[in-house]
């Protein structure tokens, strides 16, 4: 049975009715008017397995020509994968060939000579009709060639798409993760599969870093900068109110940052090179290590800080401020880079939410600096009847603190929800 034509003739390129009963299917986006792609396979009991690759070209009308590739992978990640690619070369033309995903560095390479590019493939068909790119073929189940995996073995299916020019593929966008079947697929079965594997630890890593830097660090640094003279006659846990809140927030930021750092290393199990990403995206792991180092360094400095009246205290104050502020700024940049990575699997508007948070931070700090300059100076102790009292404008400061906590909390909830559920 040739399964390619049954899909090609379908209006709006919806999922074929034979999926799961007559042949196996792996599809994406079929809950709408048209699927993004459909991969089918059928083992007729002979020496080959029939495949067809279908791509909805109308999903990306901005591309003059497009391609779709099917990879067989043992580990659900790109690297050491057998690939079959269907590349549009014109309005009604396409090519079909084998290629190989290398391990390190990650790359897709063509096979060395023309005879190898279709070795093991037969009954090949390539069409571009009614906005659908379709390639069908039969592949030998067992081969001695490295590039042709044993089709009697279960494999994860990797499906990538992108634009092409002159018959050559352009790399797929690094902010869009290729679809990966949630589990290994038995190519002798007729399963109907959809969805893609979820990188849960990556999302947990992102959520921990958001909680550390958007929530706790934003409040803790704000308290230390603008609230030292507040509540001079009150204590919290036997310490000044501002200090207890500052220390508690920074301890929580440290713990969340450390948890996020451990989670991502458990996920990647090595240093992440982010091969194939843009140069600025490749800075994410480097900046993440720097931020984590600064996050660890600052509490160590605090433990060994000089006495409040010590002659070298000012050196600690400046160093503590510089390390903390640098970590916060670099963390903001690292978060923005992180949500653009494919494994984060978040919509691009998450970048603008983070930019909004960073912009708010700048705005509130400038407003508080103006308040301090024009209304009250943190360096001055305000006295009344021989006792230290709250500085001028203390009521406004308390309103600003409540407002800041609410805004920061809203940003945190929004970002965690975006990262966790998308």
Each residue's pLDDT tens digit, 352-392: 999 999 999 999 999 999 888 777 665 666 656 556 777 77
For the chain, give every residue range classified as CATH 1.20.120. Answer: 200-421
In the chain, count of helices (H) and strands (E)? 8, 17
pTM for the model stands at 0.74
Tell me what pLDDT residue 5 has: 46
Tell which wins on pLDDT, 360 or 164: 360
40 vs 313: CA distance, rounded Å: 70
Find out whether 284 and 341 touch, Cβ atoms under 8 Å: yes
For the chain, give every residue range classified as CATH 2.60.40. Answer: 4-194
319 vs 116: CA distance, rounded Å: 62
Q: Is pLDDT at 11 greater than 70 in this prediction?
A: no
3-state helix, strand, coil in the chain (%, to 5): 40, 25, 35
CATH number (3.30.420, 2.30.30, 2.60.40, 1.10.10) of 4-194 reads 2.60.40
Tell me what pLDDT residue 197 has: 80
Q: Is pLDDT at 49 greater than 80 in this prediction?
A: yes
Q: Which of 128, 138, 135, 98 is nearest to 115 (CA)?
A: 98
42 vs 190: CA distance, rounded Å: 7
Q: 200-421, what's its fold?
A: 1.20.120
222 vs 328: CA distance, rounded Å: 11
Other CB atoms within 10 Å distance of the CB of residue 285: 20
Tell me what pLDDT residue 274 has: 60
pLDDT, mean of residues 203-225: 96
Question: Which residues, 6 or more positions from 286, have their beta carbon under 8 angstroms from its beta carbon?
Answer: none
Q: Is pLDDT at 330 greater than 70 in this prediction?
A: yes
Tell me what pLDDT residue 421 has: 87
Tell me what pLDDT residue 317 has: 87
Segment holding 86, helix H or strand E: strand 81-90
pLDDT, mean of residues 344-351: 89
| Distances in whole angstroms, Cα of residue 343 to Cα of each of 110, 178, 276 | 25, 10, 13
């Amino acid at each position: 049975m040739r399964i390619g034509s049954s899909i090609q003739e379908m209006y709006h390129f919806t999922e074929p009715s034979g999926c799961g009963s007559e042949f196996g299917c792996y599809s994406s986006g079929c809950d709408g008017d048209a699927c993004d792609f459909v991969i089918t396979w059928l083992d007729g009991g002979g020496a080959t397995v029939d495949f067809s690759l279908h791509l909805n070209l109308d999903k990306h009308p901005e591309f003059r020509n497009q391609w779709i590739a099917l990879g067989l992978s043992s580990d659900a990640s790109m690297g050491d994968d057998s690939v079959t690619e269907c590349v549009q070369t014109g309005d009604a033309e396409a090519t079909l060939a084998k290629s190989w995903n290398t391990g390190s560095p990650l790359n897709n390479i063509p096979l060395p000579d023309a005879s190898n590019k279709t070795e093991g493939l037969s009954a090949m068909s390539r069409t571009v009709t009614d906005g659908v790119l379709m390639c069908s073929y039969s592949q030998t189940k067992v081969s001695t060639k490295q590039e042709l995996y044993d089709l009697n073995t279960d494999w994860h299916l990797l499906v990538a798409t992108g634009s092409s020019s002159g018959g050559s593929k352009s790399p797929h966008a690094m902010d869009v993760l290729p679809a990966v079947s949630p589990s290994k697929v038995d190519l002798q079965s007729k399963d109907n599969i959809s969805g893609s594997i979820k990188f849960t630890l990556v999302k947990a890593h992102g959520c921990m870093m958001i909680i550390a830097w958007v929530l706790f660090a934003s409040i803790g640094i704000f308290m230390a900068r603008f609230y030292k003279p507040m509540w001079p006659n009150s204590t919290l846990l036997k310490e000044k109110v501002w200090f207890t809140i500052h220390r508690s927030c920074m301890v929580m930021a440290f713990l969340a940052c450390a948890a996020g750092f451990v989670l991502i290393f458990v996920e990647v199990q090595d240093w992440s090179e982010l091969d194939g990403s843009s140069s600025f995206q490749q800075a994410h792991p480097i900046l993440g290590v720097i931020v984590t180092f600064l996050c660890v360094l600052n509490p160590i400095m605090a433990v060994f800080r000089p006495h409040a009246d010590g002659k070298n205290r000012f050196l600690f104050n400046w160093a503590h401020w510089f390390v903390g502020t640098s970590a916060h700024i670099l963390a903001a940049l690292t978060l923005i880079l992180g949500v653009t990575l494919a494994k984060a699997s978040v919509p691009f508007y998450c970048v603008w939410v983070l930019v909004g948070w960073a912009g708010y931070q700048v705005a509130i700090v400038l407003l508080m600096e103006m308040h301090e300059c024009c209304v009250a100076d943190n360096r001055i102790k305000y006295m009344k009847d021989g006792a230290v009292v709250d500085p001028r404008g203390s009521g406004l400061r308390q309103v600003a603190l409540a407002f800041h906590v609410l805004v920061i909390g809203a940003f945190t909830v929004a970002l965690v929800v975006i990262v966790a559920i998308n």
